[in-house]
Amino acid sequence: MKLCNVCGVPAPRHCGGCGNFSYCSEKHQKSDWSEHKKVCRPFRIKHSAELGDYLVADKDLKAGDLVLYEEAAVLGPLLGPMVMQKDGNQKSLCLGCYFPAFDYQCSSCQVPLCGPACQNSSPHIQECEILKTNNLGTKIKEDPELIGIITPLRFFLLKENDFPTYNKCIKLSSNMAERRKQPNFQEYKEKARSYSELLNNMIDEELMLEILAIIDTNTFQVLAQRCAENLCGLYPRVAKINHSCIPNARLIFQKDYSLKIICTIDVKKGDPVYISYVPPFYTTLARQRILERGKQFTCSCQRCQDPIENGTFISALRCESCKEGFTVRRSDNVCACIKCGSKMDPEQFNNIDMKLFSVQTNIVQDSVDELEMVMYQYSDILHPNYALLTECRQHLAAAIGRTDGFRYDQLTPEKLQYKIKISAALMQVLDRLEPGLSKSRGITLLDLAEAQARMVAMTTKDEMKQKQQYSQILQFVEEAAEILNYEDETSIEGNVKKHALTQLQNLRY
Ligand SMILES: [Zn+2]
Ligand SMILES: [Zn+2]
Ligand SMILES: [Zn+2]
Ligand SMILES: [Zn+2]
Ligand SMILES: [Zn+2]
Ligand SMILES: [Zn+2]
């Protein structure tokens, strides 16, 4: 439960204007109003036939302003197969607190739990009896993939436990008409039928199908706090925020799995608020494939319409005719060199894009040698910022300074300079694709500043000069700290923030 904005005790009343703040009593709500009204109603929900419900700013918002704060209406394991660990063992998570369960199980229904504490007080209590009645603990043990039944079951149980929230969730879009056209729809239906059967038709097949589709369309992957596993969370208000491949807002997960949305850049009254459902360093065709398959819509955002993607050329191939210009795909599907005009068959362009995407999604992220090999192998035929190369740069920047053989104390000045160069190149792409207070910018800036500070220490002996150079680097760290300051202190990402603040102190000597 949220806490009172005035006194910090658990608070059942939410502000009716924005829903973002809570109060223990009418008295505290009234006493806070003169302050709260400045930030109340940051958005309103609009509707269009094409886009459905979506959020627009209802006042001029500044970078960093809170748009929305929401608790998870449904939280549980992902619907897909469980992730296999490297040693081939499947990790079972406690269904109460998502801590590794080791070998303990619920003494009543036999699903994995971490210990007796989670049997008596946790989200598991609501479903325990139903799982026991249907012998699902044993069935999940035999086929661990069946753990996917938990989240739709929790969704359904809201109907009894919290009907207003259930009502909001069940009205969310399921994209059923588009789903029916997709090749895997039969499999999907089959899953709904078997889940429904496993629960002895407590949820009929049709409703189960609808619930699965709503979960697939609207949930976010949430990192479990105590192990590096993904859960899925449903946030009915956040689910209404539209997507753009150049977002103006971002998600910040809190330790209690509630979610904050802040603006990353200024947003004018009446403008839509956008978050991005896809990573920034994917080509236009790759992003559109993912959004069409996973979210059932064709993105037509500003970046997708722009063949050079805000000047980044992230999907551009080097022209085979003139070797100087770059071949880009326009939104009317014509592929041509921007310098000599030489055309390329769109199907060929598409095939190259798919092939490179498969290389991109299979690269070994922490091997400096392999990343450099990939860059070497493909740089002649691609724009220097091409998705695959930019992603390699991102992993290289993270690996150099940290992985064995490339730790900071093992680096030559040349290698350190190389890290600085690729981090700076990454920043330039991020400035255009995820401007403002984006987390990637914060982390990259911090990393860049650390490398620069080490470079100064390594190469500049004069103390006065050192001080001068540090003061320039300090600006980067300050900006990184400002960005990362929005992270929840106690969350996993909060650690990066702590690192930024320590660095800041070290540089301000
Ligand atoms: Zn209070
Ligand atoms: Zn309010
Ligand atoms: Zn537990
Ligand atoms: Zn149980
Ligand atoms: Zn787009
Ligand atoms: Zn050309």
Coil/strand/helix, residue 289: helix
Q: Which ligand is nearest to the CA of 12?
A: 1
CA of 89 to the centre of ligand 4 (A): 23
Look at 81 and 54; give whichever has higher pLDDT.
Answer: 54
pLDDT for 86 beyond 60: no
Burial class (CB in 10 A: 0-12, 13-18, 19+), 413: exposed
Q: d(Cα 184, Cα 177) in Å, to the nearest integer?
A: 13
pLDDT for position 84: 44
| Contact between 68 and 261 (Cβ < 8 Å) | yes
Q: Residue 113 falls within a domain, yes or no? A: yes
Would 392 be classed as within a structural domain? no
Q: How far is the CA of 149 from the centre of ligand 3 (A)?
A: 18
Q: How far does residue 310's CA lie from ligand 6's centre (Å)?
A: 20
Q: With respect to residue 413, please indicate whether it lies within any of the assigned structural domains.
A: yes
Distance between Cα 439 and ligand 6 center (Å): 36
Pairing of the two strands 326-329 and 317-318:
antiparallel
CA of 114 to the centre of ligand 3 (A): 4
304, pLDDT greater than 90 = yes
Note the pLDDT of residue 85: 47
Ligand 6: centre distance to CA 361 (Å): 28
Structural domain contains residue 219? yes
- Residue whose structure tokens are 């600085």: 420
Q: How far is the CA of 10 from the centre of ligand 1 (A)?
A: 8
Look at residues 218, 234, 250 and tell me which one is the last residue of a structural domain.
234
Is 220 inside a domain boundary? yes
Q: What is the pLDDT of residue 491?
A: 62
How far apart CA 261 and CA 277 sit, in angstroms, is: 13
Report pLDDT for 89. 53
Higher confidence at residue 24 or residue 91? Answer: 24
The ligand that comes nearest to the alpha carbon of residue 318 is 6
pLDDT per position as a tens digit, 435-467: 999 999 999 999 999 999 999 988 888 888 888
In a domain, 422, yes or no: yes
Residue 172 near residue 239, CB atoms below 8 Å = yes
Are the CB atoms for 59 and 42 separated by under 8 Å? yes
Contacts of 189 (CB under 8 A, 6+ apart): 209
Instruction: For the chain, give the longest Cα–Cα distance.
Output: 77
Find the ligand nearest to 343 CA: 6
> Over the stretch 199-246, which tens digit does the pLDDT of each residue have?
999 999 999 999 999 999 999 999 887 777 889 999 999 999 999 999
Centre of ligand 1 to C-alpha 7, Å, is: 4
Distance 490 CA to ligand 1 centre (A): 23
pLDDT of 242:
94
Q: How far is the centre of ligand 1, averaged over its atoms, from the C-alpha of 14 (Å)?
A: 12
CA distance 429 to 388: 13
> Residue 228 has what pLDDT?
73
Q: How far is the CA of 23 from the centre of ligand 1 (A)?
A: 5
Calpha distance 228→353 (Å, rounded): 31
- Ligand 2 centroid vs 247 CA: distance in angstroms? 24
- Structural domain tally of the chain? 2
CA of 178 to the centre of ligand 1 (A): 47
**pLDDT surpassing 70 at residue 490:** no
Among 187, 218, 234, the domain boundary falls at: 234
Question: Residues lining ligand 4 (ion), CB within 5 A?
Answer: 106, 108-109, 128
Region 150-166: mean pLDDT is 96
| Tally of CB atoms within 10 A around 232 | 21
153 alpha carbon – ligand 4 mean position (Å):
14
CA of residue 228 to ligand 3 center, whole Å? 15
* 434 located within any domain: yes
Cα–Cα distance for residue pair 428/125, rounded to 1 Å: 50
Domain final position from 180, 214, 234: 234
Question: Does residue 498 form part of some domain?
Answer: yes
Closest ligand to 314 CA? 5
137-146 burial: b if 16+ Cβ within 10 Å, else e: beebeeeeeb
- Ligand with minimal distance to 300 CA: 5
- Residue 37 pLDDT more than 80? yes
* Structural domain of 424: 400-509
Kindly give the interhelix angle for 387-399 and 368-378, rounded to the nearest 10 degrees.
Answer: 160
Quick one: residue 227, left, alpha or beta (phi over 0 = left, psi -120 to 50 = alpha)? beta
What's residue 17's pLDDT?
87
Q: What is the pLDDT of residues 131-146, one digit of tens each?
A: 999 999 999 989 888 9
